[in-house]
C-alpha cells in the first residue's frame, strides 16, 4: 500500500488558474520569448513561481502518488500508441537495413512512467532505451522503477541509460546523441517548453526516418489549469507553462522537418472514462472538456 502524501496536488496535480488569475488575463501569443506563456497569477492565494526544474525537484517524491488524472488519461491513450510506434520504428529499421543497434529515447522521462512501458514492449529487436530529463530527482525515480522491473522480469529487458539534459538549450544537446534515435516518446512534456525549442530538440535527436510519439495537455484544458501542486503549507507551487494549440503543434513540427503520421487524437473527458475506473474521480469536473492530445510524427 502506498503511503499517503504529505504534499497534495490541487485538482489532480493541476493548479486551477481560474482561481489564480483574474478573468481579464489571457495567454499571449506570437514569436516573443513569452509565446503562449500563461499569465502571471493575481494575489488571490499564495503562489510560488519556480523554474520547471525547481518545481519537479520539490514534486518528485510525491509525483507518482498524488492522483494526477491527466497521467491516467495519458496512460490509457499511450497503451495503444506506444505499441504502434514500436511497430513503425521496427518496420522502418528493417526496411533500411542494419545500421547499428536500435535506440529509443524517452524525452522528458520524469519518474519513468513511460520508460517502464518502453522496457516492457514486445520488441523484435532488443533496443537500448535512453531516458532523459532536466531534473535529477525525477531521474532517480525513473532509475529505481527500471531497476525494479529488471530484477523481477522473467523475460529479457532492454538496457536503459539515464541522462540529465537541459531541453531549453538545443545547442547544448549531447553531440554524440544527435540524429541517433530510431524512436522517441515524449509524454506531457511539451507544456513546459516553448514550441520551437521543443521541436528543434526532437528534430535534432531523431534519425531521418525516425518516429516520435508526442502527447500534451489539450489547450482547452490548458486555458484553465497548469501543472503544479500544493505543498504541505498550502502554497501553490507552479513552474513555467505554455498553452500549445493542436494545429500549432503540427505546424511547428512541419517547420522542424517532421510530418504527421495519421491524425492527431484528441480526448474529451467523459463519464464513461470515470465509471470504468480508468480515470479517477478528480477527472469528473472536466467532463465535456478536451484534456489531452497526441500523435505520431516522422522525421523526414
Q: Which of the two residues, 240 and 217, has the higher pLDDT score?
A: 217
- Per-residue pLDDT, averaged over 257-281, amounts to 96
Q: Which of the two residues, 96 and 213, has the higher pLDDT score?
A: 213
Q: Which of the two residues, 39 and 296, has the higher pLDDT score?
A: 296
Cell (9 digits) for 33: 520569448
- Per-residue pLDDT, averaged over 137-151, amounts to 93
- Per-residue pLDDT, averaged over 260-269, amounts to 98
32-40 contact pairs (CB < 8 A, 24+)? 33/194, 35/194, 35/195, 35/242, 36/194, 36/195, 36/242, 36/243, 36/244, 36/245, 36/248, 37/240, 37/241, 37/242, 38/222, 38/226, 38/241, 38/242, 38/243
* Domain made up of 69-222+245-299: CATH architecture: 3-Layer(aba) Sandwich (3.40)
Q: Are 275 and 249 in contact (CB under 8 A)?
A: no
Locate the domains of the chain by residue range: 69-222+245-299
Residue whose grid cell is 465535456? 288
- Per-residue pLDDT, averaged over 77-89, amounts to 97
**Is 50 exceeded by the pLDDT of residue 61?**
yes
Q: Percentage of the chain with pLDDT > 90?
A: 64
What pLDDT does 57 receive?
Answer: 83
What pLDDT does 235 receive?
Answer: 87
d(CA 136, CA 162): 10
**Is 80 exceeded by the pLDDT of residue 290?**
yes
Helix or strand or coil: residue 200? Answer: helix
pLDDT tens-digit series, residues 211-238:
999 999 999 999 998 888 888 888 888 8
Q: Name the pTM for this structure.
A: 0.85
**Is 60 exceeded by the pLDDT of residue 10?**
no
Q: What is the mean pLDDT of the chain?
A: 85
Q: Are 72 and 279 in contact (CB under 8 A)?
A: yes
What pLDDT does 82 receive?
Answer: 98
Helix or strand or coil: residue 269? Answer: coil
SS (H, E, C) 114-151: HHHHHHCCCCCCCCEEEEEECCHHHHHHHHHHHHHHHH
Amino acid at each position: 500500500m502506498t503511503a499517503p502524501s504529505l504534499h497534495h496536488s490541487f485538482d489532480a496535480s493541476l493548479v486551477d488558474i481560474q482561481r489564480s488569475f483574474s478573468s481579464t488575463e489571457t495567454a499571449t501569443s506570437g514569436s516573443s520569448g513569452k509565446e503562449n506563456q500563461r499569465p502571471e497569477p493575481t494575489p488571490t492565494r499564495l503562489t510560488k513561481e519556480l523554474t520547471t526544474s525547481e518545481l519537479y525537484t520539490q514534486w518528485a517524491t510525491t509525483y507518482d502518488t498524488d492522483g494526477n488524472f491527466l497521467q491516467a488519461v495519458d496512460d490509457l491513450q499511450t497503451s495503444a500508441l506506444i505499441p504502434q510506434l514500436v511497430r513503425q520504428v521496427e518496420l522502418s529499421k528493417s526496411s533500411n537495413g542494419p545500421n547499428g543497434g536500435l535506440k529509443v529515447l524517452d524525452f522528458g522521462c520524469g519518474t519513468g512512467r513511460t520508460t517502464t512501458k518502453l522496457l516492457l514492449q514486445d520488441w523484435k529487436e532488443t533496443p537500448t532505451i535512453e531516458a532523459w530529463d532536466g531534473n535529477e530527482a525525477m531521474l532517480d525515480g525513473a532509475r529505481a522503477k527500471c531497476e525494479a522491473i529488471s530484477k523481477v522480469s522473467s523475460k529479457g529487458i532492454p538496457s536503459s541509460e539515464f541522462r540529465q539534459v537541459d531541453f531549453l538549450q538545443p545547442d547544448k544537446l549531447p553531440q554524440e546523441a544527435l540524429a541517433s534515435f530510431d524512436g522517441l516518446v515524449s509524454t506531457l512534456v511539451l507544456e513546459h517548453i516553448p514550441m520551437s525549442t521543443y521541436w528543434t530538440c526532437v528534430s535534432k535527436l531523431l534519425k531521418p526516418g525516425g518516429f516520435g510519439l508526442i502527447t500534451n495537455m489539450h489547450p482547452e484544458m490548458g486555458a484553465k489549469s497548469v501543472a503544479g501542486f500544493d505543498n504541505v503549507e498550502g502554497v501553490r507551487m507552479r513552474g513555467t507553462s505554455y498553452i500549445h494549440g493542436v494545429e500549432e503543434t503540427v505546424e511547428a513540427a512541419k517547420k522542424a522537418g517532421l510530418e504527421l503520421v495519421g491524425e492527431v487524437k484528441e480526448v474529451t473527458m467523459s463519464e464513461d472514462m470515470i465509471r470504468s475506473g480508468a480515470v479517477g474521480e478528480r477527472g469528473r469536473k472536466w467532463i465535456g472538456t478536451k484534456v489531452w492530445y497526441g500523435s505520431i510524427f516522422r522525421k523526414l
